[in-house]
Amino acid sequence: MLKVTAFIAGLLFGLGLLLAGMANPSKVLAFLDLAGAWDPSLALVMGGAIAVAIGPLTWARRHARSLLGAPMQFPAKRELDRRLIGGSLLFGIGWGIAGICPGPAVAILLTGHWQALVFMVAMLGGMLLFTALENRRGR
């Protein structure tokens, strides 16, 4: 049941990204272009997503288990550090250059655009590099 629920949630997430225009790199880049032809519509999408998420997150913080019985898992670490700030900057720079972030990239990949494939390969390469550096750091 957990896998079916995860599939449905992922499907809804992907459809929401497509409907909101988050899978359109030119729309995302227009949102990020504060000094030019700024398109604020994605700010409304993000605000709507936050508003919808507040209720379930409030409920989740008060319970140890999900409705399907899985344990709730929230980050234990709350402080800002160099790694979090550096990763956030790297993510933001990549988002600004490509106009794509990981969720929409999966949705765009299904359209057959070669740019999405390049983005996904680069993203997976970055994840492999991070894993290798973390393993080396742990030794």
Predicted local confidence at residue 128, as pLDDT = 94
Q: Tell me: the pLDDT tens digits for 111-135?
A: 787 888 888 898 899 889 989 988 9
Pairwise CA distance, residues 63 & 89, whole Å: 33
| pLDDT(11) > 90 | no
Full domain range(s) for residue 50: 2-138
What percent of the chain clears pLDDT 70, i.e. is strictly above it? 100
Q: What is the pLDDT of residue 45?
A: 86
Mean pLDDT (whole number) for 78-93: 88
Provide the number of structural domains found in the chain.
1
Q: Are 119 and 105 in contact (CB under 8 A)?
A: yes
Give the SS3 label for residue 65: strand
Give the global pTM: 0.67
